[in-house]
Each structure stands twice: as C-alpha cells, then as structure tokens.
C-alpha cells in the first residue's frame, strides 16, 4: 500500500504568530534594531494576524523586514535568539496542532512541516514535534553575514512542487495525504492533496475553502510547548535554532533581489 503524509504550514498553523517577526524585541535588546523598528514590527504583526497573509501583504512584510536584516551578523543573531528562544517560541504553539500531529503519527502517516521560514528554525521545531521531514527556505550566508539572497524559497506554488517531489521520493500517494494552512498563498499546496484543511484561514482562503468544500479548523489554544513536548537544554541545539528568526525573513531579501533581477 502507498504511504501517506500530513503536510503542515508553520506560521498561524502550528504557531500562533509570524515567525518572521517573533524575535523583534530580543533583537532590539541585542542592539540590532531600534525601538521604533520594534514598534513597526508589532504593527506589522498585528496587520498579519488580523488581515491574513495574501500575496500583497506578504510583499509589504518582506519590504519592511528587508530594511532591518540586511548585513546582520549571523553569530550575533544566533547568540541573541539562543538566549531568548524559550521565551519567544515556547508559549505560541497551538495545542490543537500538536494533537493533530500526534494523531497523524499514530495513524502511520509521515508528518511534514512545509514553511517559508528557514530550515535552521523549522528543522529543530520539527524534531521537537516528532515530524518526519521538513521543507523550508535556505538563506545564503557569506563571510558570516546574510547576503540578501536565498538558495531556496519555499513559498506559494513552490510548496506544492516541493511536496510533489517529496511524494515521488518517499512513495506518498497524494490522494491519501492531508495538508493544513492558514493562508491563501498555500492554495496550491492544499489543492495537491486529497484531504486539504484551512486552519484559522485568512479571508481569501476561507472563501476558497467554502467554494471547494474544504474543512475549516479553528485553533485557539496556544500552549507552552514544554508541557506537550520536552524542550532540549540550552546548548548546540538552541544555537542551531538561533538563526531561524532571520532565516524566516529570508523571503524578504530574496524577493527584493529577485525583483531587481527580473526588472
């Protein structure tokens, strides 16, 4: 019998906030950004949470973040985020998502997190949640600094292409697979599987789900991750996670660079 998998988006599907903006305050404390930038980040987070994440909003978010992260030193970012990771990430994991992940695992389905956030943050979170695989963006680094380029960007239609490649490699029958996301930008990924689900959907995804007859799930209970899955001690694993907040912003830099190349 062919294998099956459950594909999960990360932001607002597994965690209750945008991973792109989650580390604004720690970066301010570490001297990377100003208080004014933190306030702008808080406003951007509010707009993201209330207005959803359609393509235009994501473009605005990328433009804003690109003004912040260009040239940041990777080692400094790792140190700051490693020290604040528990405080930032631990309280914002949806209890319902953790439960769904466990259910799919018990049913014998592989659990795959598919996110535009960076592999440095997605892979360790996936390990904590028992995911079998992750698909995530990879940000380019030269001489210890972020260059503004992304080697691979898992966003929009690329998510669908990525799970199709993974299905071919691992023998998944996509007609028997599940997918979960909050954003209309993930419609291609949702449409690629037999059992798509809209989670806390933005307005456009809610309309799309209604027109296609897709189930809509509402996650409302962020829970401290340590109460459901033991977190690792501070050390190498946290150091590996540390860069994730910036890599999650990789699309910001990549999109700007690509627009310049395509112009």
Q: Which residues are known catalytic residues?
A: 9, 11
Backbone angles phi, psi at 87, to 5 degrees: -60, -40
First to last CA, the chain: 48
Query: In this structure, what token pair is assigned to residue 24?
Result: 């604004």
Three-state DSSP at 195 gives strand
DSSP 32: S
Query: In this structure, what token pair is assigned to residue 111?
Result: 């659990």
Chain centroid, CA 203 distance in Å: 19
Q: Which residues contact 33 (CB under 8 A, 6 or more apart)?
A: 24, 27, 41, 68
What angle, rounded to 10 degrees, do the helices at 35-51 and 55-69 form?
160
Query: In this structure, what token pair is assigned to residue 42?
Result: 């808080």
Quote the CA–CA distance of 256 and 63 in Å, as a whole number.
7
Segments in 30-149 forming alpha helices (H):
35-51, 55-69, 74-89, 95-106, 119-129
């Amino acid at each position: 019998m062919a294998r099956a998998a459950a594909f999960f988006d990360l932001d607002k599907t597994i965690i209750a906030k945008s991973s792109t903006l989650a580390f604004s305050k720690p970066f301010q404390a570490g001297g990377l950004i100003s208080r004014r930038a933190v306030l702008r980040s808080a406003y951007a987070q509010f707009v993201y949470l209330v207005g959803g994440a359609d393509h235009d909003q994501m473009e605005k978010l990328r433009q804003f973040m690109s003004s912040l992260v260009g040239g940041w030193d990777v080692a400094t970012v790792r140190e700051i985020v490693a020290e604040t990771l528990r405080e930032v990430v631990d309280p914002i994991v949806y209890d319902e998502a953790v439960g769904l992940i466990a259910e799919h695992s018990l049913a014998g389905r592989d659990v795959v997190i598919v996110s535009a956030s960076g592999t440095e943050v997605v892979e360790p979170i996936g390990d904590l949640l028992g995911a079998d695989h992750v698909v995530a963006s990879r940000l380019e680094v030269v001489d210890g600094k972020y260059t503004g380029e992304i080697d691979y960007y898992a966003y929009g239609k690329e998510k669908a292409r990525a799970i199709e490649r993974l299905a071919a490699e691992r023998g998944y029958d996509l007609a028997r697979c599940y997918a979960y996301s909050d954003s209309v930008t993930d419609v291609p990924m949702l449409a690629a599987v037999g059992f798509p689900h809209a989670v806390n959907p933005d307005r456009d995804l809610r309309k799309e789900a209604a027109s296609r007859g897709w189930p809509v799930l509402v996650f409302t209970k962020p829970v401290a991750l340590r109460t459901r899955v033991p977190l690792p001690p501070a050390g190498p694993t946290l150091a590996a996670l540390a860069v994730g907040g910036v890599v999650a912003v990789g699309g910001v830099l990549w999109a700007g660079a690509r627009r310049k190349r395509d112009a």
